[in-house]
Structure 1
Amino acid sequence: MKNFAMFFVIIWFLFGASAADDRGFFDSGYTRTCSHVGTAALTVVGGPLYYAGLKPSAYC
């Protein structure tokens, strides 16, 4: 069970990183403000929820 949970968490964060890349958070053209970094972190942690229609954003 522990191996399954770890596998699930890794897959979750891979989907999150993919979603953040889709939204352009890894592009070098953006200035790194608090809101930008917070929204990118929420997108990575939110993972597959981004593809379900949830688009998190952070305001600082």
Structure 2
Amino acid sequence: MTRILALLIVVWLVIGALAAYQRDYFTDNDTNCAEASNIALTIVAGPLNYFGVNPKVKCKAPNVPEPSQ
């Protein structure tokens, strides 16, 4: 039973990686927070990508206070 579950998870992730590849996420050498997160979410979404799921992440810099002058 665990082998079947492990195989299903691997197949799910491979389908997600294929979707990320088809969206050209692996061709850019300049990766930032948002791109890395989009790649990870696309892979985790797996076959759902082919049913219209298009996960996107927006990364914002934390609100850091400016030093006093």
Normalised TM-score (structure 2): 0.80
Structure 1 runs of 4+ aligned residues shifted over 3 Å read none
Superposed CA deviations along residues 4-60 of structure 1, whole A, max 9, x for unmatched, are 1001000001001000001101103x5201101100100011111101110000110
Give the corresponding residue for 2:55: 56
Indicate the structure whose relative CO is greater, using CA pairs within 8 Å and at least 6 residues apart.
1
Structure 2 gap segments, 5+ residues each: 60-69
Larger Rg: 2
Residue 14 (structure 1) aligns with: 14
AA matched with 1:40: I
CA distance in 1 between counterparts of 2:46 and 2:9 reads 10
